[in-house]
Amino acid sequence: MSKAVEQGAPPARVGIRRGIYIIPSLFTIGNILCGFYALINALKGSQAQLMGETEQAASLFNQAAIALAVSWLLDNLDGRIARLTNTTSEFGVELDSIADFLSFGIAPAVLAYTWGYGATPGLEKISWAVSFFFLICGALRLARFNVVARTTSEAPGRADKRFFVGLPTPGAAGLVASVIHFFPIPFQALQPGQRYLFSSLLLVVMSLMALLMVSTIRYSKYIDVGARVRHPFVTLPLISLFVAGMWFYSRWMMLILAGTYVIHGPLVRLFGLLPRRSREDRPSAA
């Protein structure tokens, strides 16, 4: 009897193991759902604008921005859970890339167009081009990330795992979502002068983020920020402050966090070059 139980035990463990492999993919599917929800709300918000329902459009755009924020959270959780449970797979990597392209490529590009500069007279063509440029750079960024990840797995030590090369697509999408969450009223409801000014600024920001995504500027990984602070008397109060801030001041918190992350890469690169230049400018000792 004991032999029969022992012989039947491995299939049970295998079944549980297969179930564990599904868990990270469920988070990835949730990421896809949030990206699709944001995309649908962007289109519905554009329709509400055409019908003159500004408040309804602002609500739809705000819901789309929140959905992108949830996508960012799920994108971080699926990878972490896969590593903790040792259930990483090629299938999961490919599914995650598809989810990221939808949630952090297509959705923010369409959102910026429908909520912002798409309806600004005189900027129709450049608006379409900038959103497409953002989308293409996001696709290139994801493709390069997959290639670097495979190269690193085959030859460990060839890449610094503490940093991303180029602005990650979730970071770029996060800034778009935070700006819309901070000011959900569509540009079409503004005065002509304000509409043209804000649209021009948004076009510049989208173009710069697209260039940062395909650049070689290094960005710190989200999960590594503060990873060394493991003391519960330090970590728990910080988490409590973060949760309270997001609950009561989500507009400011999202904007500050996303904006700081996007600009910290170029600032670190700039400050890293300053000491080198100052040393080169010093006269050599005789």
Assess if residue 189 is contained within a domain: yes
Q: What is the pLDDT of residues 60-98, one digit of tens each?
A: 999 999 999 999 999 988 877 877 777 777 787 888 999
Tell me the CB-side half-sphere exposure of residue 42, using CA atoms within 13 A.
28
Assess if residue 30 is contained within a domain: yes
In percent, how much of the chain has pLDDT > 90? Answer: 57
* Token pair belonging to 197: 């000014």
* Token pair belonging to 148: 């670097």
Assess if residue 7 is contained within a domain: no
Exposure string (b/e) for 89-106, b if CB count within 10 Å is 16 or more? eeebbebbbebbbbbbbb
Assess if residue 2 is contained within a domain: no
How would you write 137-193 as a 3-class SS string? HHHHHHHHHHHHHHHHHHCCCCCCCCEEECCCHHHHHHHHHHHHHHCCCCHHHCCHH
SS3 at position 261: helix
Concatenated DSSP letters of 96-115: HHHHHHIIIIIHHHHHIIII
| Contact between 20 and 87 (Cβ < 8 Å) | yes
Structural domain that includes position 111: 12-274
DSSP strands (E only) in the chain: 163-165, 218-220
In sequence order, what are the beta bridge partners of 220? Answer: 163
* Average pLDDT value for residue range 236-241: 78
SS3 at position 237: helix
Task: Write down the pTM of the prediction.
Answer: 0.83
pLDDT at position 227: 46
Assess if residue 3 is contained within a domain: no
Amino acid at 115: W
Assess if residue 284 is contained within a domain: no
* 210, 60, 25, 79 alpha-carbon torsion, rounded to 10°: 50
* Average pLDDT value for residue range 14-36: 80
Burial of 15 (0-12, 13-18, 19+ CB in 10 A): exposed
Q: What is the pLDDT of residues 141-196, one digit of tens each?
A: 999 988 887 776 554 445 566 788 999 999 999 999 999 999 999 999 999 999 99
Q: CA nearest 223: which of 81, 117, 70?
A: 81
Phi and psi at residue 260, in whole multiples of 5°?
-65, -40
pLDDT at position 20: 66
Assess if residue 141 is contained within a domain: yes
Q: pLDDT band for position 6 (50/70/90)?
A: very low
**Structural domain count of the chain:** 1
Assess if residue 279 is contained within a domain: no
Q: pLDDT band for position 231 (50/70/90)?
A: low
Calculate the average pLDDT of the chain: 84
